[in-house]
Structure 1
Amino acid sequence: MGILAGKKGLVIGIANQRSIAWACAKAFDIAGATLGGTWHSDRSRPHVEPLLDALDVEIRRPLDVLDDGQMQALFEEVARRWGRLDFVLHSIAFAPRADLLGRVVDSSREGFGLAMDVSCHSFLRLARLAEPLMSNGGSLITMSYLGGTEVVPNYGIMGPVKAALESATRYLAAELGPAGIRVNAVSPGPIPTRAASGLSDLDALMADSAARSPLRRALSIDDVGPLCAFLASDGARAITGSTLYVDGGHHILN
């Protein structure tokens, strides 16, 4: 029996086989969970649906987190088909390219607001809809990055956005803890995902991490999945409000 046998969870953020969310979905599946998954748009659906097929995902729907109707419909289906929810993985982030590549001080009001809405506030909205389905407790997990606590060159407005996400994680943990709902952020090091490809110096970040981190090796999406499976399990029943790093120890360095 896997550590997630009998548990039901949603994976939000699979874009393709290079997605951290995909690695997490595989780890959840291996651990025995029953899964639901989403795709962002009609354009991404052909890349995501075969992956959902591979894991025999039971609930599958489109989800643009800016569309309240789609989000509501997703949780209504969860309530109708499962009647409960044990965990949610939130692994999405977005910033307009001009704002991402420019200085924080030059970021547009619209770009900053959009990045915050998609990358941070969507986690709060998912949590609000998940809460009534987690009557026996549950686990909410989101993805951060070191740039939320330190200045990472060329990370731009995503630094302040990830800082807000980590703070929101702590506040959610405090508010939902009495209901037995745990909330944690996972902070992987630089990994060549589609989302990370928007950074102007990703190759340099990955090389620096591999060269300087205590474990002295490159990272992959499959380094992240097992931790998320553990956080969704009862073994992590006393862990909440934390940011857990999966970066080979790079975060301990100056």
Structure 2
Amino acid sequence: MQFSGKKGLIIGVANENSIAWAIAKTIMEAGGECGFTHLPDRPDDERQRNRRRVSKLTDQYEQAKFLLPMDAQKDEDIRMVFEKAGETFGKIDFFLHSIAYADINDLRNDTVQTSRDGFKMAMDISVYSLISCCNAARDVMAENGAIATMTYFGGEKCVPGYNVMGICKAALDATVRYLAFDMGAQGVRVNALSAGPIKTLAGVGAGVKEMLEMYKHIAPLGYNTTHEEVGNSGAFLLSNASSGISGEILHVDGGYHAMGSPGRLLDQLK
């Protein structure tokens, strides 16, 4: 894939294990330029831990052009980030949305015990933020541009333990389809990448460690998806190589989503 001359925005890098970082690295190493955001630091955090975790990554690349704080629950923060992208790049060719959050207590409890406030927050950050970002992106998105977000199989089928986040991902999947229609009016594609379990900051909170062994035995390919594979697939969705694809969910999970039985895991149960 070639990204020479392409410019875009990456939202959702938390640390070196983030899927968003795997995708961003692939893009920058292929010649693309990126702007980044980080979680806002608390006013009393003099060390600016959130910014430092991301800046130590982006500082390694001259293709990383800016790093701004962004609260996904504030439309004014989102607008500010896209305005900065417009000032820096003129028009952007791609935008990656890799944001999801739910209160740890709601994730640990059964879905039926999800708190009302926790549900609202999880949907706001994990789903509505994509709508707000796409609305802000309309003025700075180049024709034939591409938008991608991160989803998971737990939005398609019940994955016990994923709980309220599974409901959020189901809503996110539907949102991708509706935004694909809206953004398609200016030639912009909107898709989602559904990765298998990967050790990320968010994944650990959602119980990814317990899923890794199961996926390895059930997925047709017989191994766990790697950061590199997800990075390549995410970059593909944001590149010209995926022109003609919109409103799609691309599974990068070794084929796990295609299985209707435990597959080779049955051999161990005999």
Asked if 1 retains the 8 angstrom alpha-carbon contact of 2:6 and 2:93, the reply is yes
Asked if 1 retains the 8 angstrom alpha-carbon contact of 2:8 and 2:33, the reply is yes
Name the structure 1 match of 2:246: 240
Rg larger in structure: 2
Cα deviation per residue 1:176-225 (whole Å; 9 max; x = unaligned)?
A: 1121100000000011111011124x222110111111111122222111
Name the structure 1 match of 2:45: none
How high is the sequence identity, in percent, across the aligned residues?
40
Uncovered stretches (5+) of structure 2, i.e. residues with no partner = 42-48, 261-270
Cα deviation per residue 1:148-181 (whole Å; 9 max; x = unaligned)?
A: 0000011110111000000000000111112110
Residue 128 of structure 1 pairs with residue 128 of structure 2: no
Cα deviation per residue 1:104-163 (whole Å; 9 max; x = unaligned)?
A: 121111100100000111011111111121242311100000000000011110111000
Name the structure 2 match of 1:96: 103
Distance 2:4 2:234 in 1: 15
Distance 1:204 1:34 in 2: 36
Distance 1:160 1:66 in 2: 19
Deviation at 1:68, TM superposition (A): 2.5
The partner residue of 2:172 within 165, 172, 184 is 165
Residue 229 of structure 1 pairs with residue 228 of structure 2: no
**What secondary structure does 2:91 align onto?**
coil
Name the structure 2 match of 1:32: 31
Runs of 4+ in 1 over 6 A off after TM superposition: none
Asked if 2 retains the 8 angstrom alpha-carbon contact of 1:188 and 1:246, the reply is yes
C-alpha root-mean-square deviation of aligned residues, in Å? 1.2
Asked if 1 retains the 8 angstrom alpha-carbon contact of 2:8 and 2:85, the reply is no
**What secondary structure does 1:195 align onto?**
helix
Structure 1 letter corresponding to 2:158: V
Residue 219 of structure 1 pairs with residue 221 of structure 2: no
Distance 2:80 2:11 in 1: 14
Asked if 2 retains the 8 angstrom alpha-carbon contact of 1:89 and 1:140, the reply is yes
Distance 2:75 2:171 in 1: 21
Aligned 1:16-95 pairs, distance under 5 A: 16-42=15-41, 43-56=49-62, 57-95=64-102
Deviation at 1:70, TM superposition (A): 2.0
Asked if 2 retains the 8 angstrom alpha-carbon contact of 1:4 and 1:229, the reply is no
**What secondary structure does 1:166 align onto?**
helix
Structure 1 letter corresponding to 2:57: L
Distance 2:85 2:18 in 1: 23
Distance 2:204 2:143 in 1: 39
Deviation at 1:54, TM superposition (A): 1.2
Distance 1:135 1:8 in 2: 10
1:9/1:135 Cα in 2 relative to 1: closer, same or farther (>3 Å)?
A: closer
Residue 155 of structure 1 pairs with residue 166 of structure 2: no
Distance 2:87 2:161 in 1: 44
Deviation at 1:64, TM superposition (A): 1.5
Structure 1 letter corresponding to 2:237: L
- Higher mean C-alpha deviation, range 228-237 or range 185-194: 228-237
Distance 1:66 1:174 in 2: 24
Name the structure 2 match of 1:189: 196
Asked if 1 retains the 8 angstrom alpha-carbon contact of 2:35 and 2:65, the reply is yes
**What secondary structure does 2:185 align onto?**
helix
